[in-house]
Structure 1
Amino acid sequence: MTVASASAAAPVITPVEFMRLLADETRLRALLLLEQKGELCVCELTEALEVSQPKMSRHLAHLRDAGVVETRRAGQWIHYQRCESLPAWARQTLAHLAAELAAEEPYWADSKRIVRAIARNRSECK
């Protein structure tokens, strides 16, 4: 799997910038799903979070530009995953949040919907 980041060198994110990104509900929910499932397509995230494609793409672009997620293109589809070069504190924060919020709403429902979205869309967006 070849992953291309938004720029040659991923930006170094500060704790304040990272927390600002997490402060938006759509970005937080998308990041927690990426933390749970690894790589996801925009169409899967859109369906799971019940938001429009333009809204999802706009939030993912913010995360990509900050160096929090990286992309892989497969035909017309763009797949996102958490950037492996994130600082350890940021990776640990996401892992902790994903574990602690898994049974809380709306995150629990997001997890159920992402399973259905993957089953429905995965063959089309490879």
Structure 2
Amino acid sequence: IVRAILWIDEQTVAAGEEENAWYDHQLVGLEVRRDGQLLGKVAEVQHLPAQDLLAVTTSAGTVLVPFVEAIVPDVDLEAGVVTVTPPAGLFEELPEVATAGGDEAANEPKPAHAESDPESREAE
């Protein structure tokens, strides 16, 4: 069977029998949090050959989060929360991620022409 949708009765195959197993519809709509801070909500579960991804809707758009234990250590269906520990840059709109290195402007490399500007040398 190629590109077919297989429908089964949920009671026939209980997801609860396998640890860390959920149906997609159980995950969609759950809050996604990091250190208690709301990041967004699960909009979709994408099943790709390499790994599954959670499509998380945030205020800045959709973020695709690899659905692996290292990044998604906890799913609490009763509380309606998916806890994530994302790598730096995955949720760039978060203030602590954007300012983690201090003043970004001070850390940005200067263009090569700014360091070797002949006019600035003449003014010295």
What TM-score, normalized to structure 1? 0.31
Of structures 1 and 2, the one with the larger relative CO (CA 8 A, separation 6+) is 1
Which structure has greater helix proportion?
A: 1
Which structure has greater strand proportion?
A: 2
What TM-score, normalized to structure 2? 0.31
